[in-house]
Structure 1
């Protein structure tokens, strides 16, 4: 019996090898997700830092930051234009794998859920999309959490809570210096994952709501007789889905940031939590409803345009790769 000779992939040119690698569905999702994350976070970097500064002001702090635009102006006044983008390089280093893993896991989970139903070509229901989004959120947090913790620490340490008499910042902390300090003085390797539980509890439902709602809106636009080909519609869908998810889970986002910085300056920041339930009860009891939503406006200024840009860049790159 004659054997079929399969051409060796080694005969492919370097260009063809790269093209085949990129067009692989999982790789395409990783690439598109990583680029989308970096672009979107750079656009909203000042809002990201302002949000963290507003969030970590506990009931015992002096509330040096009030209001999103006032906080951005104070950052610029105290630290110059570099203060607006302080930590953005680290944020991009974190967000590229974070966003890449998030999108790739989401797409892979959708593929597996469809295969499980043996119904390729059909659409997932809302619960399946929420599950896929949750898995994307959980795994992306697990992969990149230490960088998220370090970014929050650097944001606080370079802000006006740590200034000299003449208004000049002390020497800005480095990424490796911060990691070393946390590892050496706060409990070793596990200290790098301090706050991962409230972070996961906040990120997983946010990603689930955001991704599921956006996909539903995109499905409607693609199947509608009206023309939704203008990129503005995708921007609008991404903005709306992130707005809904951001408002619903915001107290958990406040909580995760406070967990990450609680051991830095307990006397100044004014909070110390024993557990996630204790922290939530304490926030609402001691600071009221608005205390649990402190920094929400700054957060929405950050996540709404960020996810709008992220979804647009992601879909555009994926479409470009598929047509290549």
Structure 2
């Protein structure tokens, strides 16, 4: 049911895109520009924030019942980072980097292409700008999340496994073969409901916050009231991401825990990963607080993550347009 629903979203978006691409608009960026700029921004962002991503995943996967009197293995950003460095070396902070780079590469391209084309299709329909931002952002997030979800799952599993002889998957190819052999195609989509359910409101809130914030900063910069040295996109992106991330964090945590379910659940570094069916299981075992494990690191990561993404996206887009002599 979930896969059919997600596939339907992709199909609708695909039908909308060709019509949107032909609309006249002040933005002269081609579809190829959007794909390249989105991909470059995704890869750049992933390289910078990879350690924070690994720390966040470790904290999210850690189950600590309210009745447990012992200290959890991972406790906050500094302690978790130090533990990983001590036990796994600096490369431990970049575990899952290959599938993560593929995730960010394809996600960035799909997200920006879908957002811009759907946004263009809504122009002229009498819908106010904020509603257009929310709808286009939510649809772009849903399409990108579904298309790239297997990479997201692989990223989580690599980040959760040990090093050396403790590895469950020895390579990306080995992981794909193993998951397919033991879990089938559905194995690559564990937790996809929470993934798509999270990204629709997240991306909707993100773009609905980002667009007016950037416009506000640009307007006041031009008037001389503020001075961000042309980095309005980075500031607006960081602020928008922080706002959106806080609202949907429980779904992100549930997605991560569902991704490591299956036959390998007891083989990861954190041996106490319980069998989860959803939000109710976590609340019963760990309380409401359990839904927000890793939120602090997530918010620390959110601002630079989106700031770098939006800044590099705009820079690459301008560079591509400039390279072909387009001054608009």
Counterpart of 2:61 in structure 1 is: 56
Q: Which runs of 5+ in 2 are unaligned?
A: 1-27, 324-328
1:258 and 2:257 correspond: yes
Q: Distance in 2 between matches of 1:84 and 1:305?
A: 17
Q: Is the 8 A contact 1:158 1:172 kept in 2?
A: no
Relative to the length of structure 1, the TM-score reads: 0.81
Superposed CA offset, 1:172-230 (max 9, x none):
621121121111112x1122111111111112211111122111111222333235561
How has the CA–CA distance of structure 1 residues 229 and 298 changed in structure 2, closer, same or farther, with 3 Å as cutoff?
A: closer
Q: Distance in 2 between matches of 1:170 and 1:250?
A: 28
1:177 and 2:174 correspond: yes
Q: Distance in 2 between matches of 1:131 and 1:197?
A: 19
How has the CA–CA distance of structure 1 residues 124 and 321 changed in structure 2, closer, same or farther, with 3 Å as cutoff?
A: farther
Q: Is the 8 A contact 1:33 1:102 kept in 2?
A: yes
Q: Distance in 2 between matches of 1:53 and 1:315?
A: 32
1:145 and 2:149 correspond: yes
Query: Looking at CA atoms only, which structure, 1 or 2, has the larger radius of gyration?
Result: 1
Q: Is the 8 A contact 2:53 2:301 kept in 1?
A: yes
Counterpart of 1:239 in structure 2 is: 238
Choose from 248, 254, 272 the match for 1:269.
Answer: 272
Q: Is the 8 A contact 1:59 1:270 kept in 2?
A: no
Q: Distance in 2 between matches of 1:155 and 1:63?
A: 18
Choose from 63, 72, 75 the match for 1:66.
Answer: 75
Q: Is the 8 A contact 1:222 1:228 kept in 2?
A: no
Q: Is the 8 A contact 1:262 1:269 kept in 2?
A: no
Q: Distance in 1 between matches of 2:168 and 2:180?
A: 20
Q: Is the 8 A contact 2:55 2:80 kept in 1?
A: yes
Corresponding residue SS for 2:91: helix
Q: Distance in 1 between matches of 2:53 and 2:124?
A: 38
1:92 and 2:89 correspond: no
How has the CA–CA distance of structure 1 residues 241 and 298 changed in structure 2, closer, same or farther, with 3 Å as cutoff?
A: same
What displacement does 1:262 show?
Answer: 2.0
Q: Is the 8 A contact 1:182 1:192 kept in 2?
A: yes
Counterpart of 2:121 in structure 1 is: 112
Corresponding residue SS for 1:58: coil
What displacement does 1:49 show?
Answer: 0.4
Q: Which runs of 5+ in 1 are unaligned?
A: 1-22, 118-122
Q: Is the 8 A contact 1:56 1:269 kept in 2?
A: no
Q: Distance in 2 between matches of 1:192 and 1:126?
A: 35
Q: Is the 8 A contact 1:36 1:314 kept in 2?
A: yes
Q: Distance in 2 between matches of 1:207 and 1:247?
A: 12
What displacement does 1:158 show?
Answer: 2.6
What displacement does 1:307 show?
Answer: 0.6
Q: Is the 8 A contact 2:218 2:232 kept in 1?
A: no
Relative to the length of structure 2, the TM-score reads: 0.80
CA RMSD between the two structures? 2.3
How has the CA–CA distance of structure 1 residues 321 and 170 changed in structure 2, closer, same or farther, with 3 Å as cutoff?
A: closer
Counterpart of 2:3 in structure 1 is: none
How has the CA–CA distance of structure 1 residues 55 and 269 changed in structure 2, closer, same or farther, with 3 Å as cutoff?
A: same
Superposed CA offset, 1:101-157 (max 9, x none):
11111111111100444xxxxx95212211101111111011111111111111111
Q: Distance in 1 between matches of 2:64 and 2:86?
A: 25
